[in-house]
Amino acid sequence: MSNPNIDEAYIMSLTYREMQKLCKDRGLAANGNTNAIRERLLADNQQRLPETPKQKTRASRNEDGGVHTPELSVENSPSSNELTTPKRKTSKPKTSSSSRKRQKIVPGSLTPPKDWESIWSLVEELRADKSAPVDSDGGQELPETHLGEKVYRYQVLVALMLSSQTKDAVVGDAMRKLQKHGLTVENIDATDASTLNSLIYKVGFHNNKTKYLKQVAETLISKYDKDIPKTAAEMMELSGIGPKMAYIIENICFGTSSGIGVDTHMHRMFNDLRWVKSKTPEQTREQLEGWLPKDRQN
């Protein structure tokens, strides 16, 4: 006997005679018009739902023209979850950010570019006359030396903070105005922001630098006994201090070098020389440290 448990869509597709046969299979009355028989089968189907989940099966015709719906075995029948819940596409696990992170270059692990020493010697020769603006208005030359080591180190830090996006001559002019005003940690902390801003207004981003100078002065007084931090890593925690400034300050003030200070101009120049192949000053610094001898990094 045919399986009487079939879905509604299949019942709706049956012919009049096929519905009559299915009614007989289910023990139902097979008389009446097409709509009456169809409604009788649908009603009977609803009563069977709690016992048997709905299955979509393809009917085949027997040799006698009757309708046959194949039995579903336990092994082949889908579970109720598969019938009612659409399958979700399984996605590949996302790659963690740590695995995508660019690997840092180990100092000394890269092969130096060809003939770099000859270019280095040429630069040393060209710089021997000390005629560039940085030689008179750089972070090492501008600070006052007669006010003690703490003041000297603080003024080195200030000069480097002012140097970002600013020509050396403009930095020199601003530093001399600050020194005339009194360039100590205590005095900058006591100076109101508008006055301080008027003293450095020619430097690039002077509004931000005024804010940073005030914040740094407060931090140095409360945390470092009016001195500056001894390491580049600590300096970079101060407002307005980036890697380039920190490495240069560290070298000038403490004679140590934990990294190379690289600005935008050096980044472009070293790429032009093919000493590095980088997209940012920070990548340039890493690649230089990867092959440049330590005694040349100061």
- Cα gap 227→63, rounded to integer Å: 102
- 91 pLDDT band, cuts 50/70/90, is low
> Rounded to an integer, what is the distance from CA 79 to the centroid of its chain?
44
Name the residue with higher pLDDT: 222 or 20: 222
Where is pLDDT greater, at 28 or 207? 207
With bands split at pLDDT 50, 70 and 90, how would you rate the model's confidence at 101?
low
pLDDT at 183: 98
Q: CB–CB of 235/228 below 8 Å?
A: yes
The set of residues, in sequence order, having a beta carbon less than 8 Å from that of 294 and lying 6+ positions away, is: 107, 257
More confident residue, 198 or 38: 198
67: enclosing H helix or E strand: strand 67-68
% residues pLDDT > 70 (the chain): 79
pLDDT at 53: 47
| Contact yes or no for 118/275 (Cβ under 8 A) | no
What 3-state DSSP class applies to 222?
Answer: helix
Kindly give, in sequence order, each residue whose CB lies less than 8 Å from that of residue 234, ignoring residues fewer than 6 positions away: none
Confidence of residue 97 (pLDDT cuts 50, 70, 90): very low
160-182 pLDDT tens trace: 999 988 999 999 999 999 999 99
Q: Rounded to 5 degrees, what are φ and ψ at 40?
A: -65, -40
Question: Is 89 assigned a catalytic role?
Answer: no
What is the predicted pLDDT for the residue at 13?
75
Checking 163-168 for CB contacts under 8 A at 24+ apart, the result is 163/139, 163/245, 164/204, 164/205, 164/209, 164/240, 164/242, 164/245, 165/204, 165/205, 166/203, 166/204, 167/133, 168/132, 168/133, 168/134, 168/136, 168/137, 168/138
Q: Looking at residues 246-257, what average pLDDT do you find?
A: 93
* Catalytic residue (one of 21, 209, 214, 244): 244
Least confident interval from 93-97, 147-151, 218-222: 93-97
- pLDDT for 98 equals 43
What confidence tens digit (pLDDT) does each residue in 193-211 have? 999 999 999 999 999 999 9
This prediction's pTM: 0.62
For CA atoms 118, 120, 122, 128, the dihedral sign is negative
What pLDDT does 296 receive? 81
Residues paired with 294 in a beta bridge: none
Which residue is it, tokens 């300096």? 235
**In the predicted structure, residue 71 carries a pLDDT above the cut 70:** no
Q: Tell me how far apart the alpha carbons of residues 157 and 73 are, in angstroms, rounded to a whole number.
A: 82
Structure confidence at residue 216 (pLDDT): 98
- Computed over every residue of the chain, the mean pLDDT equals 82
pLDDT mean over 58-71? 47
